[in-house]
A = this chain, B = another copy of it.
Amino acid sequence: MRAPQFHPSASTGLPARVTIYEVGARDGLQNERTVVPAATKAEFIRRLIAAGLTTVETTSFVNPAWVPQLADAAEVLAVLGPEGTARNRPVLVPNERGLDRALASRVQAIAIFGSATETFAQRNLGRSIAESVEMFRPVVDRAKGAGLWVRAYVSMCFGDPWEGDVPIAQVVDAARRLMDLGCDELSLGDTIGVATTGQVRDLLDALDTAGMPRGQVAVHFHDTYGQALANTLAALSDGVTIVDSSAGGLGGCPYAKSATGNLATEDLVWALHGAGVQTGVDLEALVRTSAWMAGQLGRPAASRVVTALAADLDAEIKPEPPR
């Protein structure tokens, strides 16, 4: 594999270091058609950690009837042992029943997931935004009481397939209600991938005005319209330092023909290392991990860096055609 050549620049306006919150094992695999064996999931997570990803969301304790792909959450964590339940290995938890299961697996960090729109709250959680906040209240109370770290996702922050535009004030309100429960971190989700860069900055500015500490804010972009990396860099140039991404770009929407899902961790790392931003990630090890996982799933990785560099495994230099 040809080592990437980067040209660090002082003129990027990006933070010196970015924390990648790796979602491939959860948000990625939950949206794959193939159900991956627990041992393979555990191996995937181990390899992600070995590649330098410090923060890895491991699995989900939602009702297995909703997400059969992750019905083996407890088994995956059992196979992983203490490495899978460290404080920077959150698991998704929808309610107290999920929290019970997570605590039984000895996790030290959880993530809850709310919505910025009433329609998606109803469709995804079966209740209103206000009702979902009340559902999460005892979850966060008990989790914090047990010393756990808690993240709050907010979906549909930049557009909703049923409601269309989502007013910024509505997103700020949904975010504040979840953070007021006592959460440690907020992840702003562009669930349908429609956001553009100015909109990202506008929401971040509004959260600033609302008094939300920038250090607690993460961004979570989907690449449905090809905007994920551009939006992420816009957020980083606006002071965000935590980015959600998915190894190999895992997590295509099963309802669309395209494989465009989450921002690919490798494409993000390429951009960041090229700009001299530290991530702690060994890109080559990560590419090998995602290429291996793509093989397990029986399809190519969505990440463009994985496609480009994995091809270089066999050829030191790949000539381009005249153009």
Please tell me if the beta carbons of A318 and B161 are within 8 angstroms of each other in the complex: yes
Contact A270–B9 (Cβ < 8 Å): no
Q: Which of A81-89, A100-108, A173-181, A189-197 contacts B (4 or more CB under 8 A)?
A: A189-197
- A11 at the A/B interface (Cβ < 8 Å)? yes
Q: Quick one: closest B residue to A120, CB to CB?
A: B320
Cβ-defined contact, A227 with B321, below 8 A: no
Q: A226-B304, A257-B300, A267-B227 are in contact. Are A7 and B318 (CB under 8 A)?
A: no
A residues 285-317 with Cβ under 8 Å of B?
Answer: 300, 303-305, 307-308, 311, 317
Across the A-B interface, give the 9 residue pairs with the lowest CB-CB distance, nearest first: A9-B198, A196-B274, A226-B267, A226-B304, A12-B198, A258-B307, A7-B199, A124-B322, A198-B275
Nearest Cβ on chain B to A29's Cβ, whole angstroms: 11
Q: Determine if A22 is an interface residue (Cβ-Cβ < 8 Å).
A: no
Chain B min CB distance to A285 (Å): 17
B201 touches A12 (CB 8 A): yes
- By a CB distance below 8 angstroms, the chain B residues around A113 are 323
Known contacts: A202-B9, A276-B198. The answer to whether A192 contacts B320 by CB under 8 A is yes
Whether A319 pairs with B255 at a CB distance below 8 angstroms is: yes
CA distance A191 to B323 in the complex (A): 8
Which residues does chain B contribute within 8 Å of A192, judged by CB atoms? 320
What's the least CB distance linking A273 to chain B, in Å? 8
Distance (whole angstroms) from the CB of A71 to the closest CB of chain B:
15
Q: What is the minimal beta-carbon distance from A133 to any residue of chain B, in angstroms?
A: 18
Given A66-B322, A319-B161, is A226 in contact with B194 using a C-beta cutoff of 8 Å?
no
Q: Which of B7, B225, B271, B322 lies in contact with A304, CB distance below 8 A?
A: B225
A308: chain B residues at CB < 8 Å are: 193, 224-225, 256, 258, 260
A31 CB-CB contact with B under 8 Å: yes
Whether A208 sits at the interface, judged by CB under 8 Å, is no
Contact A165 B7 (CB under 8 A): yes
Mark A residues whose CB is within 8 Å of B: 4-12, 14, 27, 30-31, 66-67, 113, 123-124, 155, 158-159, 161-162, 164-165, 191-199, 201-202, 205, 223-227, 229-230, 233, 251, 253-258, 260, 264, 267, 270-271, 273-276, 300, 303-305, 307-308, 311, 317-323
Question: With A and B bound together, what is the CA distance between A159 and B318 in angstroms?
Answer: 13
- Whole-angstrom CA separation of A281 from B147 in the bound complex: 54
User: Given A161-B320, A226-B267, are A311 and B256 neighbors across the interface (CB < 8 Å)?
Assistant: yes
CB < 8 Å: which of B11, B27, B155, B198 contacts A7? B198
Query: Contacts A165-B7, A198-B10; is A311 near B225 (CB within 8 Å)?
Result: no
Please, how many angstroms separate the alpha-carbon atoms of A117 and B258 in the complex?
A: 37
